[in-house]
Amino acid sequence: MSGQGQVSFRNIVKLHGQFAALKNVNFDIKPGEFFALLGPSGSGKSTTLRILAGLDAPTTGRVMIDDKDVTSTDARDRDIAMVFQSYALYPHMTVAENIAFPLEMAKLPKSEIAPAVKDAARKVKIDHLLDRKPGQLSGGQQQRCALARAIVRKARLFLLDEPLSNLDAKLRLETRAELKKLQRSLGVTAVYVTHDQEEAMTLADRMAVFMSGEIQQVGTPAEVFARPNSIDIAGFIGNPPMNLVPARYVDGDVIIAGHRLKTTATTAVERDVVVGLRPGALRMTEGGLGARVDLIEDLGDTAVLDLDCAGTMIRMRVADGNIPGEGDTISITARPQDIHLFDPATRMRL
Amino acid sequence: MTAKRLRVFALLAISMIFLLAWAFPILWSVLNSLKTDSDVLAYPPKLVFAPTWEAYRDVLFGSGSILPNLLSSVIISVGTTIVTMLMAVPAAYALARLRFRGKKFAGFYVLATQMLPPVGIIIPYFLVLRNIGWIDTYQGIILIYLSFSLPFAIWLLVSYFEDIPFEMEEAAYLDGASRLKTLWRIIIPQVRGGIAVTVVFVFLNAWNEFLFAVVLSGNTVRPVTVAMFNFVSVEQTLWAKLAAVSVLAMLPVVVLGVVAQKHIVKGLTVGAVKGGGRR
Ligand SMILES: Nc1ncnc2c1ncn2[C@@H]1O[C@H](COP(=O)(O)OP(=O)(O)OP(=O)(O)O)[C@@H](O)[C@H]1O
Ligand SMILES: [Mg+2]
């Protein structure tokens, strides 16, 4: 390994004509970290990854790797390995030749290439498929082949652009776990692009949440989940995501649909706010906010209720044992510390 | 059962008619090349006759042997093909991939050169070649052939290059390959079907070309298409010899076709089905 894989983005802007795909992006990745770039489609995640890889140049700003400015360094000289969403396997080469290609380009002697290829293939469990062509592999096997080609070179940075999105749900879960183990055992810095918040939450040590070309929050998954910075992030993280309800803040209380709830969040004056409530933080109680159960989605161990609170839709997660019936009227509440306040104008946390 | 049989039979009959129509000139050439001159002109045409190699012996080893002309044709066609491919592959790659000013115009220009009627430019070409003293030279004829084969080859190849996803190349760069290495190791192996198709077409066009050859060649450089014309004169046409030369001139084409067949079929069908680009 020629470096530790420390990354800094400094004021990166990327314009496509008039359109700003990235508007002043800043973040730092520590060596050995599993760092996720999370955001909805079109928010600029792939653009960020491609700029880091050197496949695209930023319009302005600096990219630093291991404290060196690599903004104008060629992709092939950055010592970065990448797994593409399409895998980009070389169709005319066998699996073994695919995996060997980066080593050949690095002019390693043949005697070292063969064992390295075997080793990488074994790590991703495709060592029995080395003689096949990519066209003869299943989707999951192709994905592993792409992984093997990326890890064989022991690059300082390991970039993955939605590597699991072409797999079926079950395989995605399995591969997700293996990917994390693999990254741990290699000790390499990984940058992982996904639009699936669950994937980011489970895989990442830290993550950056992208919204229309900007990073709105950087932090551990737990931090982002516990204290989302903005209405957009609050509505994006969690399954189902936070309820966002217009309300009025009055002196330590919020008034939702005529009902007062205590909150620990404070703001200076009486004002309109947007209240964020996690579906899992809501509980049934006596004398709380009245709600009619419109729909029940039973997930087996838990259920998600769609509630109608005087015209406002609120979703609530309840444990298996105490599911009310559809059409029932219930009464709900939340602890003061579980009530998040956002500014409806700036959309940021108060 | 019988209806199905009838259909098969009808299909077979129709195919036979097409095959016959297509194969007739070839059969005619082969048959006549094995006849004596008097047999050729016999009426009604003889289907049963004593075959003779006389015509072949005459055209190959007789006084007006066409062996030098065959050699001329080989040099011209192979030369044209090699130079065309050496230039067309990088050019097509550039047109398919790189973004540069005037790319649209370049693409149109390449195609536009194919729209000129050849007869219209024979005189200018002749004058140009005469002024630089390249009439009746290999480089002269090859240069003129390039002006047609190159745009055609580029135009044909571009679509093959465009079929290769850009990410494949980017993966190669990240794997540490240079642009040239990527072209050579990753791109070209995947367009080899297209290259085979292009080689065959360019070679055939050069091999069969007559119009320009007859004007721009001379006594030193005289391809077989022009030499063949010697057997046709005002007084008489030497049908047997003409047929023998035609058959000989066909041989390299047939060989090339057989050798390249596998690639050609692939080259023509890639992209026809989903996932067809995979090999
Ligand atoms: N070459 C281009 N020209 C114009 N706009 C572009 C170009 N490339 C990307 N964009 C725009 O930049 C924005 C960010 O694109 P990017 O590919 O980074 O999104 P993403 O976050 O990766 O989304 P996804 O999850 O769908 O892959 C998009 O709105 C996209 O339309
Ligand atoms: Mg993307």
Whether A86 has its CB under 8 Å from any CB of chain B: the answer is yes
Q: Do B190 and A55 touch (CB under 8 A)?
A: no
* pLDDT, tens digit (0-9, with 9 covering 90-100), for B62-92: 887 889 999 999 999 999 999 999 999 999 9
Q: Which residue has the tokens 């989707």?
A: A139
Q: What is the mean pLDDT of chain A?
A: 91
**Residue A16: CB within 6 Å of ligand 1?**
yes
| Tokens, residue A138 | 């299943």
| Tokens, residue B223 | 């391809």
Residue bearing the CA closest to ligand 1, atom 12 = A21
The answer to whether the beta carbons of residues B219 and B201 sit under 8 Å apart is: no
Q: What is the pLDDT of residue B272?
A: 40
Task: Report the alpha-carbon angle A237-A52-A109, nearest 5.
Answer: 125
Q: Name the architecture of domain A7-234.
A: 3-Layer(aba) Sandwich (3.40)
* pLDDT, tens digit (0-9, with 9 covering 90-100), for B215-237: 888 888 899 999 888 888 777 88
| Tokens, residue B214 | 């007859």
* pLDDT, tens digit (0-9, with 9 covering 90-100), for A272-304: 999 999 999 999 888 888 899 999 998 888 889
* pLDDT, tens digit (0-9, with 9 covering 90-100), for A7-50: 999 999 999 999 999 999 999 999 999 999 999 999 999 999 99
Q: What is the pLDDT of residue A232?
A: 93
Q: Which residue of B has its CA nearest to A88?
A: B168
DSSP letters for A36-72: EEE-STTSSHHHHHHHHHTSS--SEEEEEETTEE-TT
pLDDT class for A1, splitting at 50, 70, 90?
Answer: very low
* pLDDT, tens digit (0-9, with 9 covering 90-100), for A174-183: 888 889 999 9
* pLDDT, tens digit (0-9, with 9 covering 90-100), for A104-149: 999 999 999 999 999 999 988 899 999 999 999 998 899 999 999 9
- Cα–Cα distance, B193 to B201 (Å, whole number): 13
Of B167, B189, B279, which has the smallest distance from its Cβ to A88's Cβ?
B167
Q: How far, in Å, are B5, B19, B28 from residue B13 at the CA level?
A: 12, 10, 21
Of B167, B174, B275, which has the smallest distance from its Cβ to A76's Cβ?
B174
Q: Do B167 and A86 touch (CB under 8 A)?
A: yes
pLDDT class for A324, splitting at 50, 70, 90?
Answer: confident
DSSP letters for B54-118: HHHHHHHHSTT-SHHHHHHHHHHHHHHHHHHHHHHHHHHHHHHH---TTHHHHHHHHHHGGGS-T
Which residues contact residue B93 at a Cβ distance below 8 angstroms, ignoring those fewer than 6 apart?
Answer: B157, B161, B183, B187
pLDDT class for B203, splitting at 50, 70, 90?
Answer: very high
Nearest-CA neighbor of A298 among A310, A306, A286?
Answer: A306
Q: What is the pLDDT of residue A218?
A: 96
CB atoms near residue B266 (< 10 Å): 16
**Residue A21: CB within 6 Å of ligand 1?**
yes
Structural domains in chain B, sorted by start? 63-270 (1.10.3720.10)
Superfamily of domain A243-342: Nucleic acid-binding proteins (2.40.50.140)
The answer to whether the beta carbons of residues A99 and A152 sit under 8 Å apart is: yes
The answer to whether the beta carbons of residues A142 and A95 sit under 8 Å apart is: no
The answer to whether the beta carbons of residues A345 and A293 sit under 8 Å apart is: no
Residue intervals of chain A classified under CATH 2.40.50.140 are: 243-342
Q: Cis check for the bond before B51: say yes or no (omega within 30 of 0).
A: no
Q: Do A55 and B173 touch (CB under 8 A)?
A: yes
Residue to substitute from A50, A70, A73, A82, interface B, most B β-carbons within 10 A: A82
- For residue B267, pLDDT over 60 is answered with no
Q: Do B279 and A92 touch (CB under 8 A)?
A: yes
Whether B278 has its CB under 8 Å from any CB of chain A: the answer is yes
β-pairing, A7-16 vs A60-65, is antiparallel
- For residue B277, pLDDT over 50 is answered with no
Q: What is the pLDDT of residue B107?
A: 77
Radius of gyration of chain A (CA): 24
* pLDDT, tens digit (0-9, with 9 covering 90-100), for B93-108: 988 887 778 878 877 8
Q: Which residues pair with residue A293 across a beta bridge?
A: A307
| Tokens, residue A275 | 């209240």
A145 or A3: which carries more pLDDT confidence? A145
| Ligand nearest to the Cα of A12, by number | 1
Whether A53 has its CB under 8 Å from any CB of chain B: the answer is yes
Give the dihedral sign, CA A284/A285/A288/A293: positive
Helices (H), chain A: 45-53, 95-105, 110-123, 139-151, 169-186, 197-203, 221-226, 231-234
Q: Which residues pair with residue B211 across a beta bridge?
A: none
Mean pLDDT of A204-216: 94
Mean pLDDT of A323-331: 87
Of B168, B177, B279, which has the smallest distance from its Cβ to A105's Cβ?
B177
- Cα–Cα distance, B41 to A246 (Å, whole number): 102
Task: Report the alpha-carbon angle A262-A268-A269, nearest 5.
Answer: 85
Q: Which residues pair with residue A298 across a beta bridge?
A: A303
Whether B60 has its CB under 8 Å from any CB of chain A: the answer is no
Query: Chains A, B: CB contacts under 8 A, how many?
Result: 61
Cα B222 to the chain's mean position, in Å? 18
Residue intervals of chain A classified under CATH 3.40.50.300 are: 7-234
